[in-house]
Structure 1
Amino acid sequence: MSAASIPSPLWAKPNRCGVIAALDTPDPARAMGWAAAVAPHVGLVKVGLELFCAAGPAVVQQIGQHRPVFLDLKFHDIPNTVAGAVRSVCAHPPAMLTLHGGGGGAMIEAARRAAEDSAGAQRPAILAVTVLTSFSAAGLAETGVSGGPAQQVLRLARLALSAGADGLVCSPHEVSRLRDAFGDAPLLVVPGVRPAGSDAGDQARVATPEETAAAGADWLVIGRPITASADPAAAAARIAATL
């Protein structure tokens, strides 16, 4: 499926939990190789800041030749600036894009309007990042946020969804709480997923693919357990087979 044939954003609500392979590298050739290898086993591939900054916007279309792109740039700025950034990326276009829920309702509304004005029915799904998976309660407290990650995730989720976000990015630890609070409608995209026995790396709030899927996630974002494997295609296939 090419990027040009992406249907409306809610196409990404799968019948069962799927895998997004994170192509975190500054090398576009390596990213293209990974994308080609894992394409039979995943639903989307992630282009994040590292690859986007190294290769530029064209990489979204290039990678999209293999699988639709989850563009994870986490926009966070004044509403006018974020709207302009959304209009720019809609020229390519990704299947889903992220912005920080902490940017506020006006910013999220501006992003949604910009996506609709630029791409219409073919617009990317707008996903609000709640609390990064690297944050613990102590890390949040350093930034002046009290109450811990779960409380902050629910606060930002409510704000984002009321402002027009199609879904949320959260850690595995908050998936069931979000389903209880908001039902099946929001798209839940979940990083911080690690197969049993994998190194958690810099992630603070993690769970296995099976646990995260059972909690109600729609998409699991998995990077190093796939791309650091000697055989990324086989690693992706093994993870997909558990869901």
Structure 2
Amino acid sequence: MSGQLIVGLDVDTRQQAETIIEALDGSVDFFKIGYQCFYGADGFALGKALLAAGKKVFFDLKLLDIDNTVEKGVAAIAATGATMLTVHGYPQAMRAAVRGAAGSGLTILGVSVLTSMDDNDVAEAGFARDTAGLVSLRADQAKKAGIGGLVCAAHEAAMVRQIVGQGMAIVTPGIRPAGSDSGDQKRVVTPRQALDAGSTHLVVARPIVQTADPAAAARAILTEMAGGTRLA
């Protein structure tokens, strides 16, 4: 189960990140580096240091640009030995990312719909679909692009699995342990619910990194995960 839990290093400084990493030593070896850590805590260098130490790193950068820029950016991340990288789930970006990652072990993940968005947000953004419809479209496009997986809310995991078949990763953010606050996420589930729905990897940040005892919080989540039965 520990390989399925990804801890989001959503902190402001490298010292904070390293304190959390040290506290989780022996419990978690997979870490997500997103905008906050990447830009504010020297996250690129931190990620390379983690990789050198034998850890797994998920760079959550949600790349979206012209094809050449995405391809070259992905190639640069792939050269670090990173495990996962996100791009926005637009077909051109996903195809460019596949080219950039060619020959490496980097898993490209397409971001379908952010877990902070609901149907009203999707409509406001101009999509003539509801959330589930847009996720369904992105899943089909991700499969055709040949990327390694998709980021989606656990509510859509079973639907996504039906579309993409076996073999692709389904990474679920917005995970909250039973009884915890959902924060700014609108489509959240517990760790057990996410695995039961078919998610292959769970991303947890605040419920671990913002506690006085990150190791205890991580162990509690791993215990909760072990109580579920994956359907994927």
Give me the TM-score of the superposition, normalised by structure 2. 0.91
1:108 and 2:68 matched: no
- Give 3-state SS (helix, strand or coil) of 2:37's partner: helix
Pair 1:127 & 2:114 matched: no
3-state SS, counterpart of residue 242 of structure 1: helix
Q: 1:47: Cα distance to partner?
A: 0.5
Q: For 2:32, give the aligned amino acid.
A: K
Residue 192 of structure 1 corresponds to 174
Question: Looking at both structures, which has the greater relative contact order when contacts are Cα pairs under 8 Å and sequence separation is at least 6?
Answer: 1
Q: Which whole-Å CA distance do the structure 1 matches of 2:132 and 2:3 have between them?
A: 22
Could you say what secondary structure the match of 1:60 adopts? helix
Q: Is the 8 A contact 1:20 1:222 kept in 2?
A: yes
Unpaired runs of 5+ residues, structure 1, are: 1-13
Name the counterpart of 2:72: 84
The residue that corresponds to 1:21 in the other structure is 7
For 1:99, the equivalent position in structure 2 comes to 87
Output aligned runs, 1:202-217, within 5 Å.
202-217=184-199
Q: Is the 8 A contact 1:17 1:213 kept in 2?
A: no
Shift of the 43–154 alpha-carbon distance from structure 1 to 2, 3 Å rule, reads farther
Letter of the structure 2 residue corresponding to residue 200 of structure 1:
S
TM-aligned CA distance change 1:17 to 1:91, over 3 Å: closer
* Of 192, 203, 210, the match for 1:221: 203
Equivalent positions of 1:1-243 (< 5 A) are 18-54=4-40, 55-64=42-51, 65=53, 67-102=55-90, 104=91, 106-116=92-102, 120=103, 122-243=104-225
- Structure 2 counterpart of 1:99, which letter? V
CA contact (8 A) 1:79 1:108 kept: no
Q: Which residue of 2 aligns with 1:11?
A: none
Structure 1 residue matching 2:72: 3-state secondary structure: helix
> Deviation at 1:36?
2.2
TM-score normalised by the chain length of structure 1 = 0.87
Q: Is the 8 A contact 1:127 1:165 kept in 2?
A: yes
- Alpha-carbon shift at residue 206 of structure 1 (Å): 0.6
Contact 1:32-1:63 at 8 Å conserved across structures: no
Report the number of matched residues. Answer: 223
* Contact residue 17 and residue 217 of structure 1 kept, 8 A: no
Alignment correspondent of 1:5: none
Alpha-carbon shift at residue 63 of structure 1 (Å):
2.9
Q: Please say if residues 189 and 220 of structure 1, whose CA atoms lie closer than 8 Å, have aligned partners that are also in contact.
A: yes
SS in structure 2 opposite 1:57? helix
How far has the Cα of 1:108 moved from its partner?
1.4
Distance 1:240 1:57, change over 3 A: same
Paired AA for residue 63 in structure 2: F
Percent identical residues: 39
Question: Hey, what does 2:228 align to over in structure 1?
Answer: none
Return the alpha-carbon distance in structure 2 between the equivalents of residues 169 and 30 of structure 1: 26
